[in-house]
Amino acid sequence: MKTTAEIDPQLVKQLREKTNAGFMDCKRALVESGGDLEKAETILRTKGIASAGKKASRATKEGVVASYIHLQGKVGVLVEVNCETDFVARNENFREFVKDITLHIAAAHPLYVSRADVPGNLIEAEREIYKAQVKGKTANVADKIVEGKLDKFYSTVCLLEQGFIKNPDVTVKDLLNAKISELGENIVIRRFVRYLVGEALPSEA
């Protein structure tokens, strides 16, 4: 079986264009299929990820803003999760999903929703650190190691790429895609904020 680092980025791009699935979902499917594009597409469709991806362009103007207070008022979370219709926004299944997301944010402390939200200067700073760590290795090997370390970084700070707190074998993105397939509407975790009593504010850091 191929590792994530051995997957050709062009294959990932092709699979994303065919299925509209997320970057990491495509990578995982290609690893599972041994780099076979058609098998990877089948894997995504079987999991409902490809069909979820196709709904991604649909407008999400309904939804809810939910809150969660944890540890006797020491941690607080606000999150906005959007869907297409008020019918789904009022659905108990959807509300339970949103509640799970607030619990996860409180426990896992993500900093961004997705890798697209991570500031470019932070990514470059991380990349430079990883490059320094692999100094002396051949360019090809070094690049793969650096990309692998960046993937690990994203899985730490990005909500969608974190292992779900109730089942770490499943990412939040996997959970989201399953819910999209189940409810038949596009669902977007739009934004969140997490407060911890006593934490330093950006101006104080």
| Domain map (residue ranges) of the chain | 4-54, 62-115+158-196, 119-155
Is 62-115+158-196 in the same CATH topology as 4-54? no
Give, rounded to a whole angstrom, the gap between the first and last alpha carbons of the chain.
44
Distance of CA 38 to the CA centre of its chain: 24
Tokens 């509640």 sit at which residue? 99
Q: 4-54 falls under which CATH superfamily? A: Ubiquitin-associated (UBA) domain (1.10.8.10)
78 phi, psi to nearest 5 deg: -125, 135
> DSSP letter at 201?
P
pTM of the predicted model as reported, rounded to 2 decimal places: 0.71
> So what's the pLDDT on residue 8?
80
Closest-CA residue to 29 (of 20, 17, 18, 42): 42
Instruction: pLDDT tens for the chain, 205 residues: list them.
Output: 455 557 788 888 888 777 667 677 788 888 888 888 888 888 887 776 655 656 666 777 899 999 999 878 899 999 999 999 999 999 999 999 999 999 999 999 999 999 999 999 999 999 999 989 988 888 888 889 999 999 999 999 999 999 999 999 999 999 999 899 888 889 999 999 999 998 877 666 5
d(CA 173, CA 186): 13
CB 46 within 8 A of CB 174: no
E strand or H helix at 110, and its extent? Answer: none
> So what's the pLDDT on residue 53?
59
Helices within the chain (DSSP H only) = 9-19, 23-32, 37-47, 49-54, 86-89, 92-108, 120-133, 139-157, 172-183
Number of other residues whose CB lies within 10 A of the CB of residue 166: 11
> So what's the pLDDT on residue 41?
82
Q: 62-115+158-196 falls under which CATH superfamily? A: Elongation factor Ts, dimerisation domain (3.30.479.20)
Could you read off the pLDDT of 155-171 as tens digits, one per residue?
999 999 999 999 999 99
